[in-house]
Protein backbone atom coordinates (compact mmCIF):
# COMPACT_ATOMS: atom_id res chain seq x y z
CA UNK A 1 0.00 0.00 0.00
CA UNK A 2 1.46 3.41 -0.93
CA UNK A 3 1.79 6.21 1.62
CA UNK A 4 -1.28 8.18 0.44
CA UNK A 5 -3.45 5.06 0.85
CA UNK A 6 -1.97 4.36 4.28
CA UNK A 7 -2.72 7.96 5.34
CA UNK A 8 -6.30 7.64 4.07
CA UNK A 9 -6.78 4.41 6.00
CA UNK A 10 -5.40 5.89 9.26
CA UNK A 11 -7.50 9.04 8.88
CA UNK A 12 -10.67 6.96 8.41
CA UNK A 13 -9.91 4.95 11.54
CA UNK A 14 -9.17 8.12 13.54
CA UNK A 15 -12.35 9.83 12.30
CA UNK A 16 -14.41 7.22 14.17
CA UNK A 17 -12.88 8.53 17.40
CA UNK A 18 -13.82 12.17 17.00
CA UNK A 19 -17.42 11.56 15.94
CA UNK A 20 -18.80 12.56 19.37
CA UNK A 21 -16.81 15.81 19.35
CA UNK A 22 -18.09 16.60 15.86
CA UNK A 23 -21.65 16.05 17.10
CA UNK A 24 -21.15 18.68 19.82
CA UNK A 25 -19.78 21.18 17.29
CA UNK A 26 -22.69 20.38 14.95
CA UNK A 27 -25.22 21.06 17.73
CA UNK A 28 -23.44 24.31 18.53
CA UNK A 29 -23.58 25.27 14.83
CA UNK A 30 -27.31 24.47 14.63
CA UNK A 31 -28.00 26.58 17.72
CA UNK A 32 -26.12 29.70 16.58
CA UNK A 33 -26.55 29.58 12.80
CA UNK A 34 -30.05 28.08 12.65
CA UNK A 35 -31.53 27.26 9.23
CA UNK A 36 -31.32 30.97 8.33
CA UNK A 37 -27.53 30.92 7.91
CA UNK A 38 -27.14 27.54 6.24
CA UNK A 39 -24.81 29.08 3.63
CA UNK A 40 -22.20 29.49 6.38
CA UNK A 41 -22.01 25.71 6.76
CA UNK A 42 -21.95 25.00 3.03
CA UNK A 43 -19.24 27.67 2.69
CA UNK A 44 -17.20 26.00 5.41
CA UNK A 45 -17.59 22.57 3.84
CA UNK A 46 -16.67 23.92 0.39
CA UNK A 47 -13.52 25.62 1.61
CA UNK A 48 -12.50 22.52 3.59
CA UNK A 49 -13.00 20.31 0.52
CA UNK A 50 -11.17 22.56 -1.93
CA UNK A 51 -8.41 24.29 0.06
CA UNK A 52 -4.88 23.05 -0.62
CA UNK A 53 -3.71 24.43 2.76
CA UNK A 54 -4.94 24.17 6.33
CA UNK A 55 -4.28 27.89 6.82
CA UNK A 56 -6.96 28.67 4.18
CA UNK A 57 -9.54 26.92 6.39
CA UNK A 58 -8.31 28.62 9.58
CA UNK A 59 -8.34 32.03 7.83
CA UNK A 60 -11.90 31.38 6.65
CA UNK A 61 -13.07 30.59 10.19
CA UNK A 62 -11.37 33.75 11.47
CA UNK A 63 -12.91 35.92 8.76
CA UNK A 64 -16.42 34.60 9.42
CA UNK A 65 -15.94 34.97 13.19
CA UNK A 66 -14.89 38.59 12.73
CA UNK A 67 -17.73 39.40 10.30
CA UNK A 68 -20.79 37.69 11.75
CA UNK A 69 -22.01 37.89 15.36
CA UNK A 70 -23.54 34.40 15.23
CA UNK A 71 -20.06 32.88 14.77
CA UNK A 72 -19.23 34.50 18.13
CA UNK A 73 -22.10 33.01 20.13
CA UNK A 74 -21.64 30.45 22.88
CA UNK A 75 -23.78 27.34 23.37
CA UNK A 76 -26.06 26.71 26.36
CA UNK A 77 -27.02 23.11 25.38
CA UNK A 78 -26.78 19.80 27.30
CA UNK A 79 -22.99 20.10 27.22
CA UNK A 80 -22.72 23.91 27.35
CA UNK A 81 -19.73 25.83 26.03
CA UNK A 82 -18.77 29.38 26.99
CA UNK A 83 -16.65 29.61 23.87
CA UNK A 84 -17.77 31.28 20.68
CA UNK A 85 -18.65 28.84 17.88
CA UNK A 86 -15.85 29.98 15.55
CA UNK A 87 -13.20 30.17 18.25
CA UNK A 88 -14.15 26.72 19.57
CA UNK A 89 -14.01 25.17 16.12
CA UNK A 90 -10.66 26.78 15.30
CA UNK A 91 -9.20 25.66 18.62
CA UNK A 92 -10.36 22.08 18.02
CA UNK A 93 -8.73 22.00 14.59
CA UNK A 94 -5.51 23.58 15.91
CA UNK A 95 -5.19 21.51 19.10
CA UNK A 96 -7.02 18.19 18.92
CA UNK A 97 -6.60 17.47 15.23
CA UNK A 98 -2.92 18.45 15.27
CA UNK A 99 -2.36 15.80 17.96
CA UNK A 100 -4.21 13.24 15.83
CA UNK A 101 -2.16 14.22 12.76
CA UNK A 102 1.05 13.80 14.76
CA UNK A 103 -0.07 10.38 16.00
CA UNK A 104 -0.84 9.21 12.46
CA UNK A 105 2.48 10.58 11.14
CA UNK A 106 4.35 8.84 13.97
CA UNK A 107 2.65 5.54 13.15
CA UNK A 108 3.55 5.90 9.46
CA UNK A 109 7.04 7.25 10.23
CA UNK A 110 6.41 10.54 8.47
CA UNK A 111 8.78 13.22 9.75
CA UNK A 112 8.84 16.97 9.16
CA UNK A 113 12.22 17.53 7.51
CA UNK A 114 11.96 16.69 3.80
CA UNK A 115 9.57 18.42 1.38
CA UNK A 116 7.84 15.09 0.72
CA UNK A 117 7.25 14.46 4.41
CA UNK A 118 5.98 18.03 4.93
CA UNK A 119 3.53 17.49 2.06
CA UNK A 120 2.27 14.21 3.56
CA UNK A 121 1.84 15.90 6.96
CA UNK A 122 -0.21 18.69 5.35
CA UNK A 123 -2.26 16.12 3.41
CA UNK A 124 -2.96 14.14 6.61
CA UNK A 125 -4.04 17.26 8.48
CA UNK A 126 -6.28 18.39 5.60
CA UNK A 127 -7.98 14.97 5.42
CA UNK A 128 -8.63 14.98 9.17
CA UNK A 129 -10.16 18.47 8.98
CA UNK A 130 -12.31 17.49 5.99
CA UNK A 131 -13.64 14.43 7.79
CA UNK A 132 -14.32 16.40 10.97
CA UNK A 133 -16.11 19.25 9.18
CA UNK A 134 -18.16 16.80 7.12
CA UNK A 135 -19.38 15.24 10.38
CA UNK A 136 -20.09 18.67 11.91
CA UNK A 137 -22.10 19.71 8.85
CA UNK A 138 -24.06 16.42 8.82
CA UNK A 139 -25.08 16.93 12.46
CA UNK A 140 -25.94 20.58 11.74
CA UNK A 141 -28.18 19.59 8.80
CA UNK A 142 -29.89 16.92 10.90
CA UNK A 143 -30.58 19.37 13.75
CA UNK A 144 -31.89 22.22 11.63
CA UNK A 145 -34.17 19.88 9.68
CA UNK A 146 -36.10 19.35 12.93
CA UNK A 147 -36.35 23.10 13.32
CA UNK A 148 -37.94 23.33 9.88
CA UNK A 149 -40.33 20.42 10.60
CA UNK A 150 -41.46 22.12 13.84
CA UNK A 151 -42.23 25.31 11.93
CA UNK A 152 -44.26 23.39 9.30
CA UNK A 153 -46.23 21.59 11.98
CA UNK B 1 4.93 30.70 -12.92
CA UNK B 2 6.08 28.52 -10.03
CA UNK B 3 6.63 24.84 -10.76
CA UNK B 4 4.37 22.20 -9.22
CA UNK B 5 7.09 21.38 -6.70
CA UNK B 6 7.50 25.04 -5.76
CA UNK B 7 3.76 25.37 -5.33
CA UNK B 8 3.72 22.42 -2.93
CA UNK B 9 6.64 23.98 -1.04
CA UNK B 10 4.77 27.27 -0.92
CA UNK B 11 1.71 25.56 0.57
CA UNK B 12 3.85 23.79 3.18
CA UNK B 13 5.58 27.06 4.00
CA UNK B 14 2.28 28.92 4.26
CA UNK B 15 0.91 26.42 6.80
CA UNK B 16 4.08 25.81 8.81
CA UNK B 17 5.82 29.19 8.76
CA UNK B 18 3.80 32.08 7.29
CA UNK B 19 0.56 31.43 9.20
CA UNK B 20 2.13 31.22 12.70
CA UNK B 21 4.47 34.13 11.91
CA UNK B 22 1.56 36.32 10.74
CA UNK B 23 -0.31 35.57 13.98
CA UNK B 24 2.79 36.39 16.07
CA UNK B 25 3.50 39.53 13.99
CA UNK B 26 0.06 41.01 14.55
CA UNK B 27 -0.35 39.97 18.20
CA UNK B 28 3.02 41.57 18.98
CA UNK B 29 1.90 44.87 17.43
CA UNK B 30 -1.61 44.88 18.90
CA UNK B 31 -1.32 43.06 22.24
CA UNK B 32 2.27 43.91 23.24
CA UNK B 33 2.95 47.29 21.62
CA UNK B 34 -0.62 48.54 22.02
CA UNK B 35 -1.12 49.44 18.35
CA UNK B 36 -4.62 49.68 16.91
CA UNK B 37 -5.71 47.00 14.45
CA UNK B 38 -5.60 47.95 10.79
CA UNK B 39 -8.78 49.80 9.70
CA UNK B 40 -11.07 48.22 7.08
CA UNK B 41 -10.06 50.68 4.32
CA UNK B 42 -6.39 49.75 4.75
CA UNK B 43 -7.20 46.04 4.82
CA UNK B 44 -9.08 46.31 1.52
CA UNK B 45 -6.33 48.36 -0.14
CA UNK B 46 -3.55 46.07 1.01
CA UNK B 47 -5.40 42.90 -0.06
CA UNK B 48 -6.18 44.36 -3.48
CA UNK B 49 -2.56 45.30 -4.10
CA UNK B 50 -1.26 41.97 -2.77
CA UNK B 51 -3.65 39.97 -4.97
CA UNK B 52 -3.19 41.94 -8.16
CA UNK B 53 0.35 43.26 -8.26
CA UNK B 54 3.87 42.17 -8.94
CA UNK B 55 6.19 42.23 -5.94
CA UNK B 56 7.88 45.55 -6.74
CA UNK B 57 4.49 47.30 -6.87
CA UNK B 58 3.50 45.81 -3.54
CA UNK B 59 6.74 47.09 -1.98
CA UNK B 60 6.16 50.52 -3.54
CA UNK B 61 2.66 50.62 -2.02
CA UNK B 62 3.95 49.61 1.42
CA UNK B 63 6.66 52.32 1.28
CA UNK B 64 4.16 54.91 0.11
CA UNK B 65 1.86 54.10 3.03
CA UNK B 66 4.80 54.43 5.41
CA UNK B 67 5.87 57.78 4.05
CA UNK B 68 2.43 59.36 4.16
CA UNK B 69 1.92 62.10 6.69
CA UNK B 70 -0.52 60.27 8.96
CA UNK B 71 -2.32 62.24 11.70
CA UNK B 72 -1.41 61.32 15.28
CA UNK B 73 -4.56 59.20 15.65
CA UNK B 74 -3.45 56.99 12.74
CA UNK B 75 0.27 56.70 13.41
CA UNK B 76 -0.12 52.97 14.13
CA UNK B 77 -0.76 52.45 10.41
CA UNK B 78 2.74 53.76 9.71
CA UNK B 79 4.20 51.34 12.29
CA UNK B 80 2.30 48.44 10.70
CA UNK B 81 3.68 49.15 7.22
CA UNK B 82 7.23 49.72 8.54
CA UNK B 83 7.12 46.34 10.31
CA UNK B 84 5.62 44.64 7.25
CA UNK B 85 8.39 45.96 4.99
CA UNK B 86 11.00 44.81 7.50
CA UNK B 87 9.50 41.31 7.61
CA UNK B 88 9.30 41.01 3.81
CA UNK B 89 12.87 42.29 3.32
CA UNK B 90 14.26 39.87 5.90
CA UNK B 91 12.40 36.97 4.36
CA UNK B 92 13.52 37.85 0.83
CA UNK B 93 17.18 38.37 1.76
CA UNK B 94 17.75 35.63 4.29
CA UNK B 95 15.23 32.83 3.95
CA UNK B 96 13.70 32.60 0.50
CA UNK B 97 16.76 31.28 -1.36
CA UNK B 98 17.35 28.64 1.31
CA UNK B 99 13.73 27.51 1.41
CA UNK B 100 13.43 27.18 -2.38
CA UNK B 101 17.06 26.39 -3.24
CA UNK B 102 17.14 29.28 -5.72
CA UNK B 103 20.00 30.48 -7.89
CA UNK B 104 21.01 34.08 -8.47
CA UNK B 105 18.21 35.27 -10.74
CA UNK B 106 16.08 38.03 -9.28
CA UNK B 107 12.99 37.50 -11.44
CA UNK B 108 12.24 34.07 -9.97
CA UNK B 109 12.84 35.46 -6.47
CA UNK B 110 10.36 38.29 -7.03
CA UNK B 111 7.73 35.96 -8.50
CA UNK B 112 7.91 33.72 -5.46
CA UNK B 113 8.02 36.69 -3.09
CA UNK B 114 4.78 38.02 -4.61
CA UNK B 115 3.08 34.69 -3.83
CA UNK B 116 4.58 34.46 -0.36
CA UNK B 117 3.67 38.05 0.47
CA UNK B 118 0.10 37.38 -0.68
CA UNK B 119 -0.14 34.39 1.66
CA UNK B 120 1.39 36.30 4.56
CA UNK B 121 -0.91 39.28 4.05
CA UNK B 122 -4.01 37.06 3.86
CA UNK B 123 -3.05 35.49 7.19
CA UNK B 124 -2.40 38.96 8.67
CA UNK B 125 -5.79 40.23 7.54
CA UNK B 126 -7.64 37.22 8.99
CA UNK B 127 -5.91 37.66 12.36
CA UNK B 128 -6.51 41.42 12.21
CA UNK B 129 -10.27 40.84 11.98
CA UNK B 130 -10.33 38.58 15.03
CA UNK B 131 -8.22 40.98 17.11
CA UNK B 132 -10.37 43.96 16.06
CA UNK B 133 -13.54 42.22 17.23
CA UNK B 134 -11.87 41.16 20.49
CA UNK B 135 -10.81 44.76 21.14
CA UNK B 136 -14.25 46.12 20.33
CA UNK B 137 -15.99 43.68 22.69
CA UNK B 138 -13.43 44.40 25.43
CA UNK B 139 -14.34 48.10 25.12
CA UNK B 140 -18.08 47.33 25.32
CA UNK B 141 -17.92 44.94 28.30
CA UNK B 142 -16.86 47.41 31.02
CA UNK B 143 -19.67 49.72 29.88
CA UNK B 144 -22.18 46.87 30.11
CA UNK B 145 -20.91 45.89 33.57
CA UNK B 146 -21.27 49.47 34.84
CA UNK B 147 -24.98 49.57 33.96
Alpha carbon distance A124, A51 (integer Å)? 13
Angle formed at CA A101 by CA A95 and CA A102, multiple of 5 degrees:
90
Domain count, chain A: 1
In a domain, A79, yes or no: no
Q: What is the distance in angstroms between the Cα of A72 and the nearest Cα belonging to chain B?
A: 10
In a domain, A56, yes or no: yes
Count of Cβ atoms closer than 10 Å to residue A62 Cβ: 24
For residue range B36-83, list pLDDT tens digits in order: 999 999 999 999 999 988 999 999 999 999 999 999 999 999 999 999
On whether the CB atoms of residues B30 and B129 are closer than 8 A, the answer is no
Q: What is the distance in angstroms between the Cα of B15 and the nearest Cα belonging to chain A?
A: 5
Is residue B145's pLDDT more than 70? no
Give the confidence band of B2 by pLDDT, cuts at 50, 70, 90. confident
For residue range A88-116, list pLDDT tens digits in order: 999 999 999 999 999 999 999 999 999 99
On whether the CB atoms of residues A144 and A34 are closer than 8 A, the answer is yes
pTM above 0.90, yes or no: yes
pLDDT, mean of residues B8-25: 96
Chain-chain contact of B12 with A54 (C-beta, under 8 angstroms): no
Which residue out of B129, B137, B140 would a mutagenesis test of the A interface target, given it has the greatest number of A Cβ atoms within 10 Å? B129
Question: Can you say whether the dihedral through the CA atoms of B65, B83, B77, B49 is positive or negative?
Answer: positive
Give the single-character DSSP code of A70.
Answer: G
Where in the sequence is the domain holding A99, given as residue range(s)? 3-73+84-152
Chain-chain contact of A59 with B130 (C-beta, under 8 angstroms): no
Better-scored residue on pLDDT, B98 or B85: B85
On whether the CB atoms of residues A52 and B15 are closer than 8 A, the answer is no
Q: What is the distance in angstroms between the Cα of A54 and the nearest Cα belonging to chain B?
A: 6
Alpha carbon distance B51, B26 (integer Å)? 20
Better-scored residue on pLDDT, B147 or B15: B15
Complex ipTM: 0.91
Amino acid sequence: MNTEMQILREVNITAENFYDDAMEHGKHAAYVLTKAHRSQMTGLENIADSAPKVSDILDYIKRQTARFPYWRQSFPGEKPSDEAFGERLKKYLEDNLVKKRDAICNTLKIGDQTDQHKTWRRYTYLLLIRQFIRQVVAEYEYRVSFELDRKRA
Amino acid sequence: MPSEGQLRQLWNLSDNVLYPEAVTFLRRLVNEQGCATLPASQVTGLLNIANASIYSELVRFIRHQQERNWPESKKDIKIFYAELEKWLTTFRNRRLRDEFHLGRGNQEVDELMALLAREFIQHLVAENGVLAVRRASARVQPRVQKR
